[in-house]
Amino acid sequence: MLNITQSQRIELLFATMQDFLAAHPVSVFEAQQVIVPSHGVGVWLRYQLASKQGISARFNTDFFGTYQWSLYKKVLGSDIPKNAPFTRQVIQWKLFCHLVQVLKKPSEHVQDCEVLAPLLATLQQHPQKPQPPQPQRKLWHLCGLIAQVFASYVLYRSDWLECWGQGRHLDIEVQLRKKEATAPDWLVARYGEMERWQQFLWHRLFAEQFTEYQNIRGRFWKVLASNEYKRNLLPKSLTIFTVLQLPPAEFNFIQQLSKYTDIQFLHYNPSQEYWADSVDPQWLKRFALKNPYAARLFDSKHPLLTSMGKQARDIFAQLAELSGNDANLSGEWVDLFPSYFPNTLLGQLQHDILHLVQPQPHSFRLRAQDQSIQIHVCHSPLRQLEVLREELITWLNADSSRQPADVVVFVPNLPEIAPLVGHVFGGGFDSGFGSKPGVTLPVHVTGVVQPDAEQLWQAMLGYFTLLSGRFSIDDFMDWLSLPDIQQCYDLTREQVGRLGEMLADAGFRRGFDAAHLRQTLASEDHDTRFTLQFALNRLMLGMVMPVPALHMGILPYANVARQDFDLIATLARMVSDLSIHRDALQHNNQPVSHWLAVLRAHFNQFFAHSINTVGGKGVQTAFFELQRSMETAESGELYLPLQFVLDEIAAILQEAPPGSIPTGKITFSRMGTLRPLPYQLVVMLNLDSGVFPARDRKNTFDLINEMQARRGDRSRQSDDEGAFLDGLLLAQQACWMFYNGFSPNDTQARQPSGILQQLIEFLANMLEIPAESSCQALNQPKTALELLVRQHSLQPFESTNFDADKPRSYAEHWFGVATGLQQPVNTQPWFNQPLQTTVQGVLKLSQIIADLKQPAKHFLKQSRVASLGRLDIASTFEPLTLSKLDEYQIRSLHQQQPDTLIEGQLQSILPVGSAAAAYWQKSQQEAQRNQKRLSQYGTATELDEQQIQVGDHVIQAVMPKQFDTGLWLSQQAVKTKGQRTLQYWLEHLAWQVKRNTSQSDVSNYHDQSLPEPKQCGERIVVLSDVSLIFAPVQAVQAQHYLSEWLATWQQAASKPWVLPPDLVLDKTHGLAFNHDRQQLEIKNISKLMEQWRDGKSFFGGFSLPASEQMDCMQHSDWQIILRGQDAVKVCAQFMQRHAVQLYGPMLNGLREEK
């Protein structure tokens, strides 16, 4: 018996299911069976039963195809295959195996080559294009397209397959002319050719099995008709809880099964009226232009229902045919439609669709408090989520009975949006406005590929594929950052960071070892440094030989600590493990079963800890699915390369995301995956033109699309249209829709999806137009549609979002930003609020100097404001030239080992190839020049830390160990720069205080008649480009100068000190002695301010963005400090007030020698 109950309310259908299950009890050893359209509906039914009964037990849910096959096996026994033979994967493998043999041995498949010539021609490469490294991939893709259409034919065109199986062809011309009478002859010929090779393939590979498949159905019904024992194996009752599609084969099976089993068919129907003959209004308009008289026979009724509910209409039409035929419908047809709808715009829309009532134009008066339908216009998906979060807080707080589980959010492109959901909702940001407490919204993203399996597969894949590419340090560190790799080698995140630091410092750039690197080098290039093995050798040698001396051509890494020993041992084990399968991708083709055995063994060896995890089960399931598909396809021992098998496993992981399920939280799901479940609030995001509805990917081999459509045919566009309609009808309180109406890059308006635009136009025609006088009096929108469509700002911190009367945001962190942005431009917030700083204990001169070098960074640090600078990322290429840091390191090494340094000690610094010898020779020549310049003055002075008293402060500084010496001579492997000159001057002043330089020392120094005038407190710093010579300063005067700089340092901690040393001491435009005027002054203040504003175009010998130049206002630190200020004016004022006072004594006592 087949009983059909239809309703627009899922709750009523659920109640009917409960009554049916209660009326058809089963034994304690059996379970009540329910057929569901999706996994999510099954989970929802279990939740509902548990909430009503306290428990959900002995209750099974299955998909129709799975349950149908289980009945076949139960009645017919083991005579049928374990799995259905016509899944897309099975068909694809069978096609692939056959075509591989055809291409491999064409002489043995002459007929195949002849008939399949048009198909095989698509595999031919363009003569000017290189052949792909894996020709099997293109053939596999081709077989996938054919398998897709064959699987579709099994469901929707079984009569074609029967015809093909009998050796007959379809009359393509007749069928094409039915759809398009004017189809050109060339098109008819093309599809005729396509039908011929499709018929040939089907007849050759699948016809016999398809006949057996159909015989299974015939035998099934024959056995049931004649064998009472087998009939008793069938369930006494069966519930079908809604369907989203009803192919003819499934519909016929339900009818036949109802003769032996009581079936309760619970059908979700948007309308209680008869609408099986209704058509899309747009189609009707086009049809009326061609056939005006015939068009009178059709009716579109409610335009939203008939344009978006085509699939629901076709299912209803099939069921409606039973209601008029007592021979087909042996049970009851029951209508359970609701009689009450809320007095809201959404309720009125649902009522009109239920009764097929098309509203009169401008007849519905929208109340201001009616929030049942909202359309939000944003600038980006991220902004949509930010707005949604604020709106959800308001909606949930408005009624204490509302729960997060009452909300569902549908997204067409969920995999792209899922990371943003975690960013906006998963951060736990406070959501308070003013003093309101923070709010955390619980969300769950369902129906997307979980990262666990994907990350585990990437970890395993690295052992086989990392060495097939360049194998750069980035590739290796990305692999090490995977959680499963860290767990495999018992590493923490901090240890991985330390490994990366040591490898980069030890010289790893790219390449696994010398043999691997040579694969990408020219034959005459024998420089194989900068590989992983090169760096590992240095690290291991550094463990046992910490002295920087060459051993067998290897320079030990000097910075290995005792706690690094275990890490280096682990790294050595990784290198050994990676070498196991280093050549696996280059091996000859092997049977797929062999590769699966290798992968399983590798998985069990390295990832045994993940076997029972979600990711581990996902990877193992992919192995099983691949093996099962091949066994079902009876493909035999197919020889393929390993890369092919790896790609197919990755595709299985990507194509099989878990089903969407309802959760106890705010559920984010892909559009249409939770149909047709009811929610209090339904939200639909990203309803943009081109994104929604999704179009079916054009399959050029699909004949269904080119022939006249039949009732029950399915398309991706119709699925999305039906999902949108269900969202409107199943929302019990409200339905919100979002789209990107603007671009963040320009002011050009963007159009919503055609479906949403149709709804907007329908609502605009439905809503009453307010009178002009009432609009002016009440300050209301001129159109009611303006109450529905809400346009949002580009940024969440714009002031319009924080109107005290009508706040549109409750995010406290954005409120702080918005408040700051509203400060008047002419105020000076940093300057008017000095910080209270205290200086205690011994001060280190080195820290004072570092702060004075970068006054902006010093101020932000004292203000506890974090500033993110540019990270120095290790290059993934071997060095071809020397960087500035490399040049400094080489100069420093020459300075430390002037006579013993050899080229091998620079093997981790010098560039590759012949450039290494050239740079080594250049560095030797430069070192000799610098050593010669140093020898002109003597030998470098031995240094030590000393303490001095400056006012109330004790300062610790580095100075000559014999502080009363007359000369401080030092050498630095750097070039002159304003910051460095300031450093040497302050160190010189501290030494002058310590050595208690007298006035007679100063006088003797300037007295040219004395034989040794320079042994009176002079400091000489030999740099790479110049020697800086500082004259002695009387101790009392030096202490005064230090006091001024100490006061400057303290002031710069509480107020911004806009006087960067590099800018003041700029050689071209900065402070210098004017010989004509005999005074210190800024050479060119206007040019200097241009440099402060725009930065140097060529900075320090290499290009550097202005945003990274510390003496430029565009630097990120200065941007934070001087926001809203006239930065050029402020800097000019500091220059005029303080430059000469602070830097004048230094420049008066400084001279340079080349």
One domain for residues 411 and 526: no
Q: What is the distance between the alpha carbons of residues 1082 and 1137, in angstroms, rounded to a whole number?
A: 12
One domain for residues 372 and 333: no
pLDDT per residue over 580-603, tens digit each?
Answer: 998 888 878 888 899 999 999 999
Q: Spell out a b/e string for 275-284, using b for 16 or more CB atoms within 10 Å of the CB, else e.
A: beebbbbeeb
One domain for residues 499 and 595: yes
CB 1005 within 8 A of CB 1013: yes
The pLDDT score that the predictor gives to residue 428 is 40
Strands (E), 1047-1112: 1071-1074, 1079-1082
CB 206 within 8 A of CB 94: yes
Please write down the HEC assignment for all residues of 902-934: CHHHHCCCCCCCCHHHHHHHHHHHHHHHHHHHH
Instruction: Look at strands 639-640 and 590-591 and give their pairing.
Output: antiparallel
Q: Is the pLDDT of residue 789 over 60?
A: yes
Which is more confident, 191 or 934? Answer: 191
Q: What is the distance between the alpha carbons of residues 750 and 760, in angstroms, rounded to a whole number?
A: 15
| pLDDT band at residue 127 using 50, 70 and 90 as cut-offs | very low
The pLDDT score that the predictor gives to residue 215 is 87
pLDDT per residue over 31-71, tens digit each?
Answer: 899 999 998 999 999 999 988 888 888 899 999 988 998 99
| pLDDT band at residue 1016 using 50, 70 and 90 as cut-offs | confident
| pLDDT band at residue 840 using 50, 70 and 90 as cut-offs | low
- Average pLDDT (674-686) is 94
Q: Is the pLDDT of residue 181 over 70?
A: yes
Q: List, in order, residues 6 or more apart from 1032 with CB less than 8 Å away.
A: 992, 997, 1001, 1002, 1005, 1016, 1017, 1018
Q: Is the pLDDT of residue 800 over 90?
A: no
- Average pLDDT (815-840) is 48
One domain for residues 39 and 18: yes
| Domain termination residue (choose one: 347, 376, 391) | 347
Q: Is the pLDDT of residue 772 over 90?
A: no
Residue 366 maps to a domain: yes
The pLDDT score that the predictor gives to residue 507 is 87
| Domain termination residue (choose one: 187, 215, 243) | 215
Give the CA diameter of the chain: 134
Lowest mean pLDDT segment, chosen from 765-769, 1004-1008, 1141-1145: 1004-1008
CB 1149 within 8 A of CB 1033: yes
Sign of the dihedral through C-alpha 502, 507, 513, 516: positive
| HSE-CB of 187 using CA atoms within 13 angstroms | 14
What phi, psi does 667 have (nearest 5°)?
-100, 125
User: What SS3 state is found at 771?
Assistant: coil
Q: Is the pLDDT of residue 503 over 60?
A: yes
- Average pLDDT (619-636) is 84
| pLDDT band at residue 686 using 50, 70 and 90 as cut-offs | very high
Residue 1019 maps to a domain: yes
Residue 624 maps to a domain: yes
One domain for residues 200 and 156: yes
Average pLDDT, the chain: 84
The pLDDT score that the predictor gives to residue 773 is 46
The pLDDT score that the predictor gives to residue 125 is 55
Residue 757 maps to a domain: yes
Q: At 591, which helix (H) or strand (E)?
A: strand 590-591
Q: What is the distance between the alpha carbons of residues 588 and 1038, in angstroms, rounded to a whole number?
A: 80
Sign of the dihedral through C-alpha 221, 222, 225, 226: negative
One domain for residues 251 and 290: yes
| pLDDT band at residue 666 using 50, 70 and 90 as cut-offs | very high
The pLDDT score that the predictor gives to residue 1099 is 45
One domain for residues 387 and 476: no
Whole-model pTM: value is: 0.74
Residue 948 maps to a domain: no
The single-letter DSSP state of residue 752 is: B
Q: Is the pLDDT of residue 465 over 60?
A: yes
- Average pLDDT (401-415) is 93
The pLDDT score that the predictor gives to residue 860 is 87
The pLDDT score that the predictor gives to residue 476 is 94
For the domain that residue 812 is a member of, what is the CATH number?
3.40.50.300
| pLDDT band at residue 1143 using 50, 70 and 90 as cut-offs | very high
One domain for residues 1070 and 1089: yes
One domain for residues 564 and 637: yes
Q: What is the distance between the alpha carbons of residues 674 and 364, in angstroms, rounded to a whole number?
A: 31
Token output for 427: 């951060």
- Average pLDDT (283-297) is 73
One domain for residues 1143 and 1080: yes
Q: Is the pLDDT of residue 815 over 60?
A: no
One domain for residues 403 and 382: yes
For the domain that residue 21 is a member of, what is the CATH number?
3.40.50.10930
CB 953 within 8 A of CB 1046: yes
pLDDT per residue over 847-868, tens digit each?
Answer: 999 999 999 999 888 877 765 5
Q: Is the pLDDT of residue 701 over 50?
A: yes
Q: What is the distance between the alpha carbons of residues 209 and 205, in angstroms, rounded to a whole number?
A: 8
DSSP per-residue string spanning 660-697: P---SSEEEEETTTTTT--EEEEEE---BTTTSSPPPP
pLDDT per residue over 329-377, tens digit each?
Answer: 568 899 999 888 889 999 999 999 999 888 888 888 888 888 899 999 9
Q: Is the pLDDT of residue 438 over 80?
A: no
- Average pLDDT (133-152) is 86
| HSE-CB of 717 using CA atoms within 13 angstroms | 10
Residue 262 maps to a domain: yes
Residue 828 maps to a domain: no
Query: How many percent of the chain have pLDDT more than 90?
Result: 41
Residue 875 maps to a domain: no
Total number of domains constituting the chain: 5
One domain for residues 640 and 691: no
DSSP per-residue string spanning 530-566: SSHHHHHHHHHHHHH--S---BTTBPPPTT--GGGHH
| pLDDT band at residue 803 using 50, 70 and 90 as cut-offs | low
| Domain termination residue (choose one: 153, 181, 215) | 215
The pLDDT score that the predictor gives to residue 1101 is 46
pLDDT per residue over 952-981, tens digit each?
Answer: 899 999 999 998 888 999 888 788 889 999
The pLDDT score that the predictor gives to residue 352 is 93
Expressed as residue numbers, the domain containing 442 is 348-446+657-695+720-817
Instruction: Look at strands 789-791 and 373-378 and give their pairing.
Output: parallel
CB 707 within 8 A of CB 433: no
CB 781 within 8 A of CB 767: no
